[in-house]
Structure 1
Amino acid sequence: MFALVARLLLLVCLALPLYGVEKVRNRGYRKDPDADKLGSCLQGPAGTPGRDGNPGANGIPGTPGIPGRDGLKGEKGECISEIFEEPWRPNYKQCAWNSLNYGIDLGKVADCTFTKLRSDSSLRVLFSGSLRLKCKNACCQRWYFTFNGAECTGPLPIESIIYLDQGSPELNSTINIHRTSSVEGLCEGVKAGLVDVAVWVGTCADYPRGDASTGWNSVSRIIIEELPK
């Protein structure tokens, strides 16, 4: 009996310390009601944002990609050729005669040779001199230019005429007047090279010729000038 009581006392002595320790454990780990919201610890105020870090070093170059396919063929472009021409230089000539006094009624009066530099240019020609026509009845004479023996066709001939009507006894039908006149025009289509420019005298269509005179007692001249189109 005594042995039984001793054992019970021994068990009580061993159990009391364990009960105190468990109670202390439960008391030190009391659960905070806000633990589920803030975690196991209380959240403090936000700290100052940190500065950006230094840029990192370049990475290792990647491997070359797969070459792309050829694109669709484009439309054919326009061919534009640039033409660089030399600046235009004046090209002219003058032939002059003192007292030509040429009294023919049909034929060449005077000529002047000219070197034309371009085929796409034009020729401006001028004859200046004394012209006269005399007749008892109505008559007409024509002074005109030729280029290498042919009249201008670009666009039309270059000419000048004098017409004299039938006179009367009171006005003297054989009147003899010499006047300085001109024959002038522009001719296109004359090829480049040596050009024989000449002044001729002839008759007018459907009219009889009279007594013509060219360059009497005065200076006569032919002026030739090459002009760009």
Structure 2
Amino acid sequence: MNFKSTFQYFYAALIMFHTSVEGNSPTLDEGSSGVYSGFPGIPGTPGHNGLPGRDGLPGRDGMQGQKGSDGTKGAKGDKGATGKTGPKGSSGERGPLGIGKIGTKGEKGLKGNMGEPGPQGENGTVHSINWKQCAWRREDAKDTGLIQECAFKKRHSSTALKVAYAANMRVHCSKGYCCGRWYITFNGAECSRPMAIDGVVYVNINSNIHRPRQIEGFCENIPSGLITVAVHVGNCHTYRTSDLATGWNSVSRIMIEEYPQSQK
């Protein structure tokens, strides 16, 4: 017997004892045949909660509401809440290229500022502004003196003249050493700016060889107008007169060109 049942038993005994002391005897029920009513019993222990019942069956749909008195439908209900945005779909295929109208030409923009100077380029080729050639076929056996002249009309006083002389030259020695010099003059004088235009042939044996040679150069500080350009022949400095020959069995020529003067 647990504590709760024991307590209930003693509590009932105490009530019966108290009743007997006070002289309250049990009463005889009317109409009974000698049977006495008992004392009320002690309340019993509450029972446990029963298990949850099953869900009821779904109710039927309600009847459609009646239309308004004027026969129209009822008022429209409130707008429901906006649903969530769905995921972005994949890109579709690119459509064909359309043909649009040609737009109008825009206005001309303002002129921009001048840029900084670029680096200096390489020296280019300078072309002559005036040229002439004098050519002849003649053998000249002079050891000293004038070989040939060529007249040239110089256009500008600020330009330079380039002269090239080509011919077959020979220096002959019977013994010892010998040297011949061919040089260019302008109006009878050799070039002084920058230097003379000349060439020498030197031999130290008994030879008689004719070879084609060329001498050339630029001469500045020559005035404009008609200029006589000439080829001369003579001795080399400190050498005695030698047996010279010019233009043997070949064509000789003087070529003259006028160029813009170089910048210093």
The answer, yes or no, to whether TM exceeds 0.5 is: yes
For residues 135 and 89 of structure 1, what CA distance do their matches in structure 2 show? 41
Equivalent position of 2:114 in the other structure: none
User: Percent of pairs identical after alignment?
Assistant: 46
For residues 242 and 215 of structure 2, what CA distance do their matches in structure 1 show? 19
Q: Which protein is bigger by CA-based radius of gyration? A: 2
Equivalent position of 1:164 in the other structure: 203
Query: Displacement of 1:89 after TM fit?
Result: 7.2
**Residue identity in the other structure for 1:127:** Y
- 128, 153, 171: which is aligned to 1:115? 153
Equivalent position of 1:139 in the other structure: 178
1:147-170 superposed Cα distances (whole Å, 9 cap, x missing partner): 0000000111000001111x3xxx
- 250, 256, 260: which is aligned to 1:218? 250
For residues 237 and 208 of structure 2, what CA distance do their matches in structure 1 show? 23
**Residue identity in the other structure for 1:129:** A
1:91 lines up with 2:130 in the alignment: yes
- 155, 164, 168: which is aligned to 1:130? 168
For residues 90 and 157 of structure 1, what CA distance do their matches in structure 2 show? 23
TM-score (norm 2): 0.50
Query: Displacement of 1:183 after TM fit?
Result: 1.3
For residues 204 and 178 of structure 1, what CA distance do their matches in structure 2 show? 18
How many residues in Structure 1 have an aligned counterpart in Structure 2? 134
For residues 152 and 223 of structure 1, what CA distance do their matches in structure 2 show? 16
Q: Is the 8 A contact 2:128 2:259 kept in 1?
A: no
For residues 199 and 227 of structure 2, what CA distance do their matches in structure 1 show? 21
For residues 225 and 142 of structure 2, what CA distance do their matches in structure 1 show? 30
- Residue ranges of structure 1 left out of the alignment (5+ in a row): 1-87, 168-172
- 218, 224, 231: which is aligned to 1:192? 224
Equivalent position of 1:54 in the other structure: none
SS of equivalent to 2:189: coil
SS of equivalent to 1:145: strand
**Residue identity in the other structure for 1:160:** G
SS of equivalent to 2:143: coil
Q: Which runs of 4+ in 1 moved over 6 A?
A: none
Equivalent position of 1:60 in the other structure: none
For residues 190 and 90 of structure 1, what CA distance do their matches in structure 2 show? 16
1:27-77 superposed Cα distances (whole Å, 9 cap, x missing partner): xxxxxxxxxxxxxxxxxxxxxxxxxxxxxxxxxxxxxxxxxxxxxxxxxxx
Q: Is the 8 A contact 1:131 1:213 kept in 2?
A: yes
For residues 143 and 215 of structure 2, what CA distance do their matches in structure 1 show? 17
Compared CA separation, residues 197 and 101, structure 1 to 2 (3 A): same
For residues 131 and 184 of structure 2, what CA distance do their matches in structure 1 show? 17
**Residue identity in the other structure for 1:91:** N
Equivalent position of 2:96 in the other structure: none
- Residue ranges of structure 2 left out of the alignment (5+ in a row): 1-126
